[in-house]
Amino acid sequence: MATVIDVHTHYVPPGWPDLAGPGEPDAPWLRLETERDAVIMIGSTEFRRIRSECWDAEARLADMDADGVAVQVVSPTPVFFSYGRSPAQATRIARIFNDLALEICAPAPQRLLPFCQVPLQDTDAACREVERCVAAGHAGVEIGNHIGDRDLDDHGVVTFLQHCAALGVPVFVHPWDMPGGPRLDRWMAQWLTGMPAETHLSILAMVLGGVFDRVTDGLRICFAHGGGSFPYWIGRMDNAWRRRNDVVGTSSHPPSHYLRRFWVDSLVFDERALQHLVATMGVDRVVIGSDYPYPLGERPVAGLVQRSRFLDDAARRRILVENAEAFLGRPASHTGSAHAGSQGMSTSLP
């Protein structure tokens, strides 16, 4: 089985200092039920039941070995981003969680690569925190796709992205904070339609907001869930850019021009959808993402790419390994078994 690099997984630490305080309602905390089961609580509300795979490196490594995964990018769970809190409190939460992520990944630093979170509502604080984290051993940063009404073309966010590009730090964008309401609070509609739409909107904001025209092409940025609905609607957006250029023509080129500027993960669950995604993005722009260990993720990891008949061996290898190495900025020095990654991957950024 080919080696796999999984760029989309999440962690939750097994506990953290009390985050409640004056002016900080609904602080997140963890209610441990057994050694292996816990509930993420937001104030007095149950947010999500989780298991010890969220924090137990041994359990993660056993699952990685079972699925042939050499390396996981271990990212925050978006509910902890805290962009709606005060910058001081968001900075405190980021520091606590980022340090705990290093501890969780410490048993296998070559195979578990932590991505940090930053207080993105405060550009200077976010830049300082990503610098601190990279110096401490983080391999990149995960950001939410918006800060309230500010999208990825917001001046402060663009400044942060440029800072990441200058530092050579890869950025993984995860949808979060989806709109609610009577039509969206049913079933899992916020996850099933809200998340793909959020990611679509944020890529559109980077394109039409001129971000890709302004930032250096040294920016390495990847979007979760196959880029949401964006790749499916390139034709509609290009048509609008041409026929309603008076409104939509705010970028130098039509939206399809910018497909070469970012990566997406492979988490689309359907071979026909993956074939369309690879045809749209290019075979070098799709990486493996599983959403491990959450139930809306893919198990076994990379199963869709492994079994998809339209991919030849070279294309499959690019998606399983090489594209992620390009996104992460790490050398293609490991091959073969899952364990070979332990020796071959450097933890230092280039």
Which residues are near Co ion by CB under 5 A?
A: 291
Q: How many CB atoms lie within 10 A of CB 344?
A: 18
CB of 204 to Co ion, least distance (A): 20
Rounded to a whole number of angstroms, the minimum distance from the CB of residue 281 to Co ion is 19
Of 101 and 165, nearer to Co ion (C-beta) is: 101
| CB 152 within 8 Å of CB 207 | no
Nearer to Co ion, 223 or 258 (CB): 223
Residue placing its CB nearer to Co ion in the complex, 151 or 291: 291
- Contacts with 44 (C-beta within 8 Å, 6 or more apart), sequence order: none
Angle, helices 123-136/155-167, rounded to nearest 10 degrees: 20
Shortest Cβ 8–Co ion spacing (Å): 6
Nearest approach, Cβ of 226 to Co ion (angstroms)? 12
| Cβ-based nearer residue to Co ion, 209 or 289 | 289
What distance in Å separates the CA atoms of residue 144 and residue 142, rounded to the nearest whole number?
A: 7
Give the helix/strand (H/E) hosting 75: strand 69-76
Locate 303 and state its tokens: 């199963």
Residue 315 has which token pair? 């294309």
Pairing mode, if any, of strands 69-76 and 112-116? parallel
Minimum Å gap between C-beta 208 and Co ion is 25
Distance from C-alpha of 156 to C-alpha of 135, rounded to nearest angstrom: 22
Up-side HSE of residue 336: CA atoms within 13 Å toward CB? 9
* Coil, helix or strand at residue 170: coil
Nearer to Co ion, 258 or 292 (CB): 292
The distance of closest approach from Cβ of residue 10 to Co ion in the complex, given in angstroms and rounded to an integer, is 6
User: By C-beta, is 210 or 300 nearer to Co ion?
Assistant: 300
- Of the candidates 284, 271, 289, 200, the residue with the CA atom closest to the CA atom of residue 7: 289
Question: Which backbone phi and psi does 129 adopt, to 5 degrees?
Answer: -70, -40
CB nearest Co ion: which residue?
291
- Please identify, using beta-carbon distances, which residue of 56 and 291 lies nearer to Co ion: 291
Q: How far is the CB of 295 from Co ion (least distance, A)?
A: 11
Nearer to Co ion, 196 or 255 (CB): 196
Minimal distance in Å, beta carbon 13 to Co ion?
17
The DSSP secondary structure of 332-343, one letter per residue, reads ----SSTTHHHH
Side-chain-facing half-sphere of 294: CA atoms under 13 Å: 19
